[in-house]
Amino acid sequence: MAGFRHRNSRAWPTFDEAMAEVRDSLSQDRISRMAVNDDGEVLGWIGGIEQYRGNVWELHPLVVRQDCRRRGLGRRLIEDFERQVAQRGGHTIFLGADDEDNSTTIGGLDLYPDVLEKLRTIRNRGSHPLDFYLKSEFHIVGVIPDANGFGKPDILMAKRVSARV
């Protein structure tokens, strides 16, 4: 819960909802990986949901504790997640990067018409994870306008799973 609060996210607003998400992530048909320190404290968490008969995996969620960010932990979690997907025969990883706080140039806008033109010129203007995902070799593959309310899109990103993992 705390990992998403800095962006005013509506993800898991209560402890019970957050715990339900954690429990769901532990099912056999999902991937759930955590980074912990020597004291057993959770520093980061990445999860995945099988889609398209295992050819595609949705990265959901990825969160790194606020005081552990910008140290490469998120990148390492993604690399581990990619290995897990490859071991299961997956080819693609996708994610939705919500813009609930206008931290990209498409947040707060009516994206219709010419949705793809607006998406083509998207830029980060705040603390949105867009740049992090781009550096992690994800590509923007689409957008769902108003996914989280008017002017609050979900930016769809994907990457091919490397055969080298």
CA angle 63, 127, 9 (to 5 degrees): 55
Q: Is a pLDDT exceeding 50 seen at residue 1?
A: no
Listing DSSP states for 90-158 in one string gives --EEEEEEE-SS--BTTTTS---S-HHHHHHT--B-SS-THHHHHHTT-EEEEEETTBTBTT--EEEEE
pLDDT-derived band at 164, boundaries 50, 70, 90? low
**pLDDT tens-digit map of 71-104:** 999 999 999 999 999 999 999 999 999 999 999 9
Q: Given this model, what pLDDT does residue 65 score?
A: 93
CA distances from 165 to 65, 67, 83, 88 (A): 26, 29, 5, 12
Cβ count within 10 A of residue 163? 7
DSSP assigned state of 70: T
**pLDDT tens-digit map of 39-53:** 999 999 999 999 999
**pLDDT tens-digit map of 2-60:** 554 554 556 656 878 877 777 777 788 899 999 999 999 999 999 999 999 999 999 99
Q: Given this model, what pLDDT does residue 73 score?
A: 97
Instruction: Please report, for the chain, the start and end positions of each structural domain, with discontinuous segments joined by +.
Output: 2-160
Q: How many angstroms separate the first and last alpha carbons of the chain?
A: 31
For CA atoms 114, 119, 121, 126, give the dihedral sign. Answer: positive
DSSP assigned state of 26: T
Q: Given this model, what pLDDT does residue 83 score?
A: 97
Question: Thinking of the domain 2-160, which architecture would CATH place it in?
Answer: 3-Layer(aba) Sandwich (3.40)
